[in-house]
Structure 1
Amino acid sequence: MEKTKAEEINTENELENIRMSIGTHLEELRRRVVYSLIAIVFCFVVCWFFKVQILDIAKNPHKFAMIKAGLSTELQVLSYQEGFYAYMKLCAITSVFLAYPIIIYQIWQFVSVGLYKKEQRYVLLFLPISYGAFVVGGLFGYFLLIPFGLQFLIGILGPGIQPIITMKEYVSFVFMLTVALGLVFQLPLVMLLLTKIRFITPDKFISWRKYAILVIFIIAAIVTPPDPFTQTMTAIPMLVLYELGILISRPTKKGFIFLGAIVGGGAIILVAVFFYLTHKGGEIGLLNAQGNIQVLYPGGTEWKQVPNRINFRNGITLKTGSEGKTAISTKKGVDVGIDANTEVHFHDAWKIKLKTGQVLISVKESEIPFEVETPNGRIRTTKGTLNIRAGEFQTIVTSIKGEATLLLEGEEKKLLEGRQHKMTIGGEPVDIGAIINWSEGVLTKPDEKK
């Protein structure tokens, strides 16, 4: 016992010998801050050279949500300088993430001098676990909360609305939410630390549970967009973390059971939400794709290859190659088969524009007519099956089942079942020379014959 006391006295004496004056402390603090800033600036310069690649990684949640909705994945800028400022913010935040271990090391070097060996062991154990929890929180937001939250927000817009997502707002939103979730995942460690220093007992945390639930949902509402889906997606993990903090502060069998029930219930809710969002499509569903099928999203300039099955929103354009065929279905009961070398633009669930190629259209009985616009006129039908082949000068419409109305140059014509009609604007193209050969010499004036 005396030896232990002597060791403690020696340790305190050694600590007193290395303690610094206030001026020395400030100098040491300045030095550590400078080292941290140098690390951040170095990482910022490196990030600037890879800013496009970093933005592409940060855009993945946005791409996921927009592709599911059948919209363009491009981000917009509203001024010349907005892109520059957005890239500055992107590189600054990324550089802090990359330099975080160095910053933590500099903080440790500054505070370790004033800590006892027992306290140093606690801090050395706490820091890597804290960093790991921060990373897990950020990954949770990047892979789960942000993409599905964005998909929910885009999905409630409905047809006829084209969202304009700016680069500046997206970068700020993603990184703010990522950092917030990283900090939220520190909750169990903070609770454990408070109980270890005997500032708050585990019983207090248990008695405060109902208040904690209210505070958690308030925090979730602050750090997430104003919609119930993302707020719930953020609040559920926070509730789990709160119960985990109670459990690690005072492990009990009842606590394990309660935490397991919360985790199980939360997992079921997340799986249900995941299934709903991943199977909830847009207005247009691609049923089967064969060969080369490309899509052009609204506002986009580049054609992109589409997978075998995907859902789109209105406003897209589909194009098939020489060996490409596909079929689509709308939520309004319209099925469209698309032949090779065909380009079709989908205005909405009731109207398409056949630019070139051939389609087979099947329409269930509806009060609203389905309309097909072609270079040579428009076709409407409320029920039946039509085959339409459109070219530059002629469109051939065949009614396989039911009737259709043809609108050409201000006139309406009825197409009956089992009939075919050729639609042309300004007449059909002909060989003019062959037509007027008979008149050679007939219209020649007498003076011209001499």
Structure 2
Amino acid sequence: MVENQETQEKRLPISEHLEELRSRIITAIIVVVGFFFISWIFKSKLLEVIKKPHNFAMENLGLPQSLQVLSYQEGFYAYIKLCLMAAIFMAYPVIVYQIWKFVEAGLYKKERRYVIIFVPFSLIAFVSGILFGYFFLIPFGLQFLIKILGSSVEPVITMSQYISLVFLLTIALGIVFQLPLVMLFIAKIGVLKAEDFAKWRKYALLIMFVVAAIITPPDPFTQVMTALPMVALYEIGIILIRPTKKAVLRFCLLLGFGAIFVYAVFLIFTLPTKAKLIESTGIVKTLSSVDNRWRVLTDKSRIQNGAILQTARGSKASFVLKDGTYIIMDVDTNITLVDKRKLTIVKGQILANIIADKDPFTIMAHKSNVSANDADIDIKVSEFMILVTPTRGSATVVTGGEEEEVLEGRQLKIITGGEPVNTKNITKWAEEMQKRVKEEEEKATKE
């Protein structure tokens, strides 16, 4: 009764409510505009920050990281969109405060107390949703979307499209992460109980997947990655309302499943990375297995399994593989990263500092296999010859089914395509035979 009286005392005419709403909106707009101009000053740095998920995905796929613009004005409009997005993010606390001050008068004292408690947690949840999208959903989602295109399609990602996608997903996830707080608030003001949320769980799950499908790109991977946190947040909301053993157990099981899913995603998208370029003295190119195009590598670039690496004339390069093995490529050398602890050298010379492992490291050259473990192996391959020289440890060479061990400081020379011979004697003999046959034919004709 006292609360009703308090609310009635604060009740204002509709005109004053509209005037206050106008004042709150103008204040929020002024703050957003102020942050917009600040963001415009640092627009290039903002773009670099927002591009990091894109760079992560493209780098893992061995693709160029630059964003495209399709018209002269597109870049300008894209920067406006970027700065506006940054301004809204930075002004979010002020916007929330203005909304709160407008609705405060219409709430009971108990409701106002709940709002004051919930708002800080709401800000934390909003930021958590943004961080989840920035560090997990967007980079892995983009990588999945590009990867399923295959080698026959070349992706062209525009600056405007990318900024819009990031803006949509981060804002949507920031709102989605408010779910437990909304559920708790509804329960605290007596609208629904924990039993009601538990009873409607099936319908809630359906709605979550529908919402995830709407706010994410049209692929099942990002939809599932968005829906799973929503399911977890729903269970957290039930626990916050009434922390029963059953609810906690259900959440723990869901959390375990989510951890397995996240770990699986991590393995799927990080294991394919085979090597990193450490340094080079000239041009080093790679033929990506994703889009089948030659590209120039830069320092710290990542290389995929199946990629072909090639040093130009006068250039050398060094790589570190995923298992820690260090590879130095000499000039005019061509190798292929086949699989874990396995590569093929087509031509040129490499020095492999092979790390100890339960499986030997295999280097294939022509029809020979060179295997070693915890050793330094120098291999030189030309069109008709292979030289294998262990400078530390030993190597096992298999050629034509025959196995031979090469000890440290020794060199094995393998001739491919037969032993070299002097063909002049053979051609001289053939010419003499042809000359003799011709003479015999002429003699027979005269007779």
TM-score by length of 1: 0.69
Determine if contact 1:72/1:300 at 8 Å carries over to the other structure: no
1:310, CA displacement in angstroms? 4.0
CA separation in 2, counterparts of 1:315 and 1:83? Answer: 35
1:57, CA displacement in angstroms? 0.7
* Map of 1:440 onto structure 2: none
Q: 1:288 to 1:131 in 2, by over 3 A?
A: closer
* Map of 1:126 onto structure 2: 118
1:33, CA displacement in angstroms? 0.8
Determine if contact 2:212/2:227 at 8 Å carries over to the other structure: yes
1:304 aligns with 2:298: yes
* Map of 1:274 onto structure 2: 266
SS of 1:40's partner is helix
CA separation in 2, counterparts of 1:327 and 1:387? Answer: 19
1:189 aligns with 2:190: no
Q: 1:184 to 1:341 in 2, by over 3 A?
A: same
* Map of 1:434 onto structure 2: none
1:12, CA displacement in angstroms? 3.2
Residues 382-417 of structure 1: per-residue CA shift (max 9 Å, x gap): 7459956xxxxxxx74432889xxxxxxxxxxx724
* Map of 2:37 onto structure 1: 45
1:277, CA displacement in angstroms? 1.4
Choose which of 6, 9, 12 in structure 1 pairs with 2:5.
12
CA separation in 2, counterparts of 1:249 and 1:320? Answer: 69
Choose which of 202, 205, 229 in structure 1 pairs with 2:221.
229
* Map of 2:148 onto structure 1: 156
SS of 1:122's partner is helix
Choose which of 39, 58, 83 in structure 2 pairs with 1:91.
83
Determine if contact 1:319/1:344 at 8 Å carries over to the other structure: no
Residues 236-271 of structure 1: per-residue CA shift (max 9 Å, x gap): 111111111111122211111111111112112211
Query: In the comparison of the two structures, how many residue pairs are matched?
Result: 364
Question: Which residue identity is paired with 1:399?
Answer: M
* Map of 1:286 onto structure 2: 275
Residues 321-377 of structure 1: per-residue CA shift (max 9 Å, x gap): 877444889xxxxxxx7634558699x99xx9x9xx94469xxxxxxxxxxxxxxxx
* Map of 1:26 onto structure 2: 18
CA separation in 1, counterparts of 2:384 and 2:198? Answer: 73
Determine if contact 1:288/1:327 at 8 Å carries over to the other structure: yes
1:319, CA displacement in angstroms? 6.2
Q: 1:61 to 1:250 in 2, by over 3 A?
A: same
1:147 aligns with 2:139: yes
Q: 1:208 to 1:79 in 2, by over 3 A?
A: same
Question: Which residue identity is paired with 2:386?
Answer: I
After superposition, the CA RMSD in angstroms is: 4.0
Q: Which segment drifts farther, 31-40 or 162-171?
A: 162-171
* Map of 1:112 onto structure 2: 104
1:219 aligns with 2:211: yes
* Map of 1:36 onto structure 2: 28
Determine if contact 1:44/1:94 at 8 Å carries over to the other structure: yes
* Map of 2:361 onto structure 1: none
Question: Which residue identity is paired with 1:107?
Answer: I
1:117, CA displacement in angstroms? 2.8
1:109, CA displacement in angstroms? 2.1
1:157, CA displacement in angstroms? 2.5
Determine if contact 2:311/2:330 at 8 Å carries over to the other structure: no
SS of 1:304's partner is coil
CA separation in 2, counterparts of 1:276 and 1:344? Answer: 27
Question: Which residue identity is paired with 1:92?
Answer: L
1:58, CA displacement in angstroms? 0.8
Determine if contact 2:311/2:331 at 8 Å carries over to the other structure: no
Question: Which residue identity is paired with 2:132?
Answer: F
Determine if contact 2:280/2:299 at 8 Å carries over to the other structure: no
1:205, CA displacement in angstroms? 1.5
Question: Which residue identity is paired with 1:416?
Answer: G
Question: Which residue identity is paired with 2:15?
Answer: G
Determine if contact 1:136/1:182 at 8 Å carries over to the other structure: yes
Residues 28-74 of structure 1: per-residue CA shift (max 9 Å, x gap): 11111111111111111111111111111111111111111111111
CA separation in 2, counterparts of 1:290 and 1:198? Answer: 65
1:287, CA displacement in angstroms? 7.5
1:303, CA displacement in angstroms? 5.7
CA separation in 1, counterparts of 2:76 and 2:136? Answer: 29
1:116, CA displacement in angstroms? 3.3
* Map of 2:386 onto structure 1: 400
Choose which of 60, 76, 98 in structure 2 pairs with 1:68.
60
Question: Which residue identity is paired with 2:329?
Answer: D
Question: Which residue identity is paired with 2:304?
Answer: N
Determine if contact 2:53/2:139 at 8 Å carries over to the other structure: yes
Structure 1, unaligned runs of 5 or more: 330-336, 362-380, 389-395, 404-414, 422-450
* Map of 1:339 onto structure 2: 329
CA separation in 2, counterparts of 1:313 and 1:176? Answer: 35
Residues 57-104 of structure 1: per-residue CA shift (max 9 Å, x gap): 111111111111111111111111111111111111111111111111
1:416 aligns with 2:417: yes
* Map of 1:447 onto structure 2: none
SS of 1:400's partner is strand
Determine if contact 2:311/2:317 at 8 Å carries over to the other structure: no
Determine if contact 2:272/2:305 at 8 Å carries over to the other structure: no
Structure 2, unaligned runs of 5 or more: 352-364, 370-378, 388-398, 401-415, 423-447
Q: 1:107 to 1:419 in 2, by over 3 A?
A: farther
Determine if contact 1:293/1:306 at 8 Å carries over to the other structure: no
Determine if contact 2:283/2:315 at 8 Å carries over to the other structure: no
